[in-house]
């Protein structure tokens, strides 16, 4: 049973939210976790790539760079509050 890009994106967002501040996740970490969660038949690398693009385009997640590219939630600016 194939899953939609939106379902994978939501699961990725939840995973990033859960690990925020504890562990930095790379795109491949998320891809492997989603393939393990949904199975090889339901989720492949292309679906995961599209899901990551959906998260980035919507602004729900951002890329950060600290010795490698990581996917995180957008940081709240101190002056913005």
- What CATH number is associated with residue 58? 1.10.10.10
Q: How many CB atoms lie within 10 A of CB 25?
A: 19
* 10-60 pLDDT, tens digit each: 999 999 999 998 999 999 999 999 999 998 888 899 999 999 999 999 999
CA dihedral (59, 77, 21, 67) positive or negative: positive
Owning domain of residue 73: 5-80
Distance from chain centroid for Cα 58: 12
Total domain count for the chain?
1
pLDDT for the residue 45 = 93
- 0.85 exceeded by pTM: yes
Distance from chain centroid for Cα 10: 8
């Amino acid at each position: 049973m194939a899953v939609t890009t939106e379902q994978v994106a939501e699961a990725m967002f939840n995973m990033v939210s859960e690990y925020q501040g504890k562990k930095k996740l790379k795109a491949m970490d998320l891809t492997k976790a989603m393939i393990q969660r949904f199975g090889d038949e339901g989720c492949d690398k292309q679906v995961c790539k599209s899901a990551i693009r959906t998260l980035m385009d919507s602004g729900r997640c951002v890329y950060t760079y600290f010795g490698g590219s990581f996917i995180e939630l957008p940081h709240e600016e101190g002056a913005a509050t």
